[in-house]
Structure 1
């Protein structure tokens, strides 16, 4: 067995051993609830606040697209986890390993590129968002936005460096998930108030059922809201009862969908054709909206260590930073240095790279849609096979891949246009 591959059943000696045996109870690991909270915290994210704008682009059909994205995401999350145990002898360690076992070096490189763009790019955007929002709340010129970004990076660094795996970080995700719920409540409350008060600013709004011209962009925007595959392997690895993964991921993504609908529908009803992203810009400028902003900051600061830990675990496996190899003390030293360098790079990029948001949108459109919809099915067909699938399953898989490709292409085109405008405006 290669050193980067992990097994949970030392007695396994044959390819005929079942996946159920490999996914036996792991007494030292975390609970199903922590795994559920981890997925909700990472997947729900700040994308929740952009959904009324997604409906503004595509119309009410966006609600159906959202529910369809839920079904597709749950299905591919289950297929992806089956790929981890495909040979019946050991559990693969990561998404990258699935790609390598399926298509060799090209598969490894493809997953590594998309995976890294998300698990590092999203925390960078979180630092930018947290720093700028804190600066606007404090409303003081004594501390600049860049300084606040570094302060937020230092806060994120504490759990990122101190906690080794997602089992420990999962405790933070419970608070992150609660922050998302509060954020949704604030958005719903503000939307309802504006509807009841008949705000004259929104007297001329319109609502559409379907806007065909914007439908591809709507699909891309909503599909990306279910991006969580980058951490699923590590969440499942930290579960005490891995055989319950299917139920946990289905419950978590369903919860995210409830939060999405609860934000999108009232937001689009209230603001219609004038809905913007994030929806907080539409809401009444009162204490509750400021509370929502505070909870955005809390959420992104708690979600960033989860994604960064996912990247760090892969890098530490690649560089063989383990207790067995380095010893207990030196493993801690090497791990701390690696993670401090990672958070330092993220903070530096957040402060210095121009147009990073639109550049990240380009990587996110390609990365998220590929990792969520396209690659899990392609890898499953290669590692486990498609011949045992029924005709309707194959049609379903083909449909998911087509949606994933369309979302990636349209999202990339929009991001490229935005980047072009950024460079033109700079000149």
Structure 2
């Protein structure tokens, strides 16, 4: 067999069986295109984190723009390292992030990855339901339906594709519409920010270059904008050309960053220290903003099943909910029941903690900083080794891990304090 260059997965260089990696990365004709994979990543990653970016700049100052660009570079790098770990042994592809953790650190690694992974693939849909419910309440002016009722209505809508579509390959088509919805949302946010530049209410807003005390929380809030690690393994698994992963993930994250900058900079310039999360609460309440609200509701309803499917596939694999094990009919029955329970759980938590901005910060700090910046490097060092890396690569890895750990710890503490303050305010 011809030994082709495998630039995407240099992990194979530590194994003698290089041809087995070639076989693992061979074309998969039955799978989806690179464009669908790109759209999947953009849909999941760009998401609702876009709406919190002007507020993230409010917390940290203009340095947040630099943090965003640094997060982009770090996220691309760790996404590539993570995918190398999937193929580390040169004989077979690992099935998930959890499997990477288990192969690297045994049962403790499996439990650690499972915990942080679950906090994202369940936490992000919970955040989506909070956003969808609150925005629907503002959109439909009636006292007959409460925010909690709108959250449950959103959960019921999300349950339809989540239950009926079994794998990410089937859900992938939805991601194209989700990605387009994000572009429309950004356009609405930019338009509203530019219009409000002449609004007297925002004439004397303040801006900061850097607020050191809030920097870890700013990093945590921005990190959620690059939280695609939880689905990368399943997206790559559904790719026809897995060799193209590096180009796909780099292009997708770069696209997301362009959308982020287009939202964050005008939003912070206009609203400054009055910026809210989500930014929709600042924008002029006209028909265009209503369109943006409708678009974001559509987006979260399309994006939530992608993340939930990622969780469900792992759960069903662990519990043997397969056709081979249960039979076609019972597999469908058990899969339907388990997925409805998952949606019910997410809806219940969303009704209990209906604070979008605070929940966004906690999710970014607790789960994303660890899954995106810390664990991929630790797993890579353990599975493939750090001795083959250049000194500057090791330095770069050390910087990423330090940023990730500090942001996770301090960001989580600050987010929990903010949640407590929100609860206390409501109960006062």
Q: Secondary structure at the match of 1:225?
A: helix
Deviates more, 1:250-259 or 1:267-276: 267-276
Alignment of 1:244-323 (within 5 A): 244-323=244-323
Query: Please, which of 141, 144, 151 is the counterpart of residue 143 of structure 2?
Result: 141
- Quote the residue 1:377 is aligned against: 377
Cα deviation, 1:335-377, whole Å, max 9, x if unaligned, reads 1221122112222332345779756743541211000000000
Contact 1:117 1:364 in 2 (8 A): no
CA distance in 2, matches of 1:363, 1:139: 30
1:199-240 CA-partner distances (Å, limit 9, x unpaired): 111111233323333323222222222111011111111111
Deviation at 1:393, TM superposition (A): 0.6
Query: Relative to 1, partners in 2 of residues 1:310 and 1:95: Cα closer, same or farther, differing over 3 Å?
Result: same
Deviation at 1:280, TM superposition (A): 1.6
Does residue 201 in structure 1 map to residue 191 in structure 2? no
Question: Matches of 2:306 and 2:250 in 1, distance apart?
Answer: 20
User: For residue 40 of structure 1, what is the aligned residue in structure 2?
Assistant: 42
1:12-47 alpha-carbon deviations (Å, 9 max, x no partner): xx8554423211111111111111111111111111
| Structure 1 stretches lacking a partner, 5+ long | 1-13
Query: What is the total number of aligned residue pairs between the two structures?
Result: 412
Structure 2 CA distance for partners of 1:394 and 1:237, relative to 1, 3 Å: same
Alignment of 1:185 with 2:203, yes or no, is no
- Relative to structure 2, which stretch is displaced further, 372-381 or 278-287? 278-287
- With over 3 angstroms needed to count, the CA separation of the structure-2 counterparts of 1:238 and 1:185, relative to structure 1, is same
Contact 2:37 2:172 (C-alpha < 8 Å) held by counterparts:
yes
Closer, same or farther: CA 285–354 of 1 in aligned 2, 3 Å: closer
The residue matched to 2:226 in structure 1 has which SS? coil
Select 2:165's aligned residue among 163, 166, 169: 163
Find the aligned partners of 1:252 and 1:174 in 2 and give their Cα distance. Answer: 12
CA shift, 1:58, in A, is 2.2
Matches of 1:353 and 1:405 in 2, distance apart?
Answer: 25
Matched, 1:235 2:235: yes
Change beyond 3 A, Cα 1:265–1:156: same
CA distance in 2 between partners of 1:122 and 1:224 (Å) = 9
Q: Give the equivalent residue in structure 1 for 2:218.
A: 218
8 A contact 1:53–1:275 mirrored in 2: yes
Corresponding residue to 2:30 among 25, 28, 32: 28
User: Residues 304-348 of structure 1: CA distance to partner in whole angstroms, max 9, x if unpaired?
Assistant: 100100000000000111222222232222212211221122223
- Partner of 2:310, secondary structure, is helix
Which whole-Å CA distance do the structure 2 matches of 1:97 and 1:212 have between them? 37
The alignment partner of 2:92 has SS state of coil
Once the two structures are superposed, residues 263-283 of structure 1 have per-residue CA deviations (whole angstroms, 9 ceiling, x without a partner) of 111111222222222222221
TM-score normalized by the length of structure 1: 0.92
Given that 1:220 and 1:406 are in contact with CA atoms closer than 8 Å, whether structure 2 keeps it comes out as no
TM-score (norm 2): 0.92
Q: Deviations over 1:162-184 (max 9, x none)?
A: 11111110100111111111000
Q: 2:127·2:350 contact (CA, 8 Å) conserved in 1?
A: yes
